[in-house]
Amino acid sequence: MTFHHLTLNTGSCAAVRTSHLHRGRIEKCKKLWPSGGLLPTPWQEMRVDFGGTKGTASFVIWRSDIPMLMNVACWRESASQNAFQSITRHYENLSEKQPEIMSLFGTASHIAPPDTPWLATLILPSIFHAYSPDQLQTHLSTIAQAEQSIAAALIPIQQK
């Protein structure tokens, strides 16, 4: 399976093949649905909380008591527009309240991913309370792998 991973803060959109993700980590992430909890190694310093509606799942990734990332995964075309509008509204609200911090990530994209399934990520300003800017650069790809593994775990569970 392939899904699109869009990072709202930067505008980057990548096609993610689940076959390129670690199968064991995806299986461990499946066990976290729907109650959440600590992520498996190598992300054990982070935890996840879930929400969502039919055709979508929302999840927040935390480090300690600091929310770092808000995500929405969508696998139903009928839910795509509302789900995407919801996360972009959060982005716009944060950009109005904290423009200096939100601009550190680059240019945002408000174009919906091309088709379902997709994952949209909003990097929250509070991530700088979890990591220094230097640490964040080191950890961003690891954090993206965690988000993608969670989405890869959720999409097949929810499509049944």
Average confidence (pLDDT) over 115-143: 92
Nearest to 59 by CA among 129, 139, 136, 157: 157
Cβ within 8 Å of residue 131, ≥6 positions away: 63, 139
Say what the pLDDT of residue 158 is: 59
**Token duo for residue 1:** 């399976």
User: For residue range 58-111, what is the model confidence (pLDDT) as tens digits?
Assistant: 999 999 999 999 999 999 999 999 999 999 999 999 999 998 888 888 777 667
**E-strand spans in the chain?**
2-7, 13-17, 37-38, 46-51, 56-63, 66-74, 118-123
Say what the pLDDT of residue 130 is: 94
Domain ranges of the chain: 2-159
Say what the pLDDT of residue 109 is: 66
**Token duo for residue 153:** 């775990």
Say what the pLDDT of residue 113 is: 73
Q: CB 76: neighbour CB atoms within 10 A? A: 15
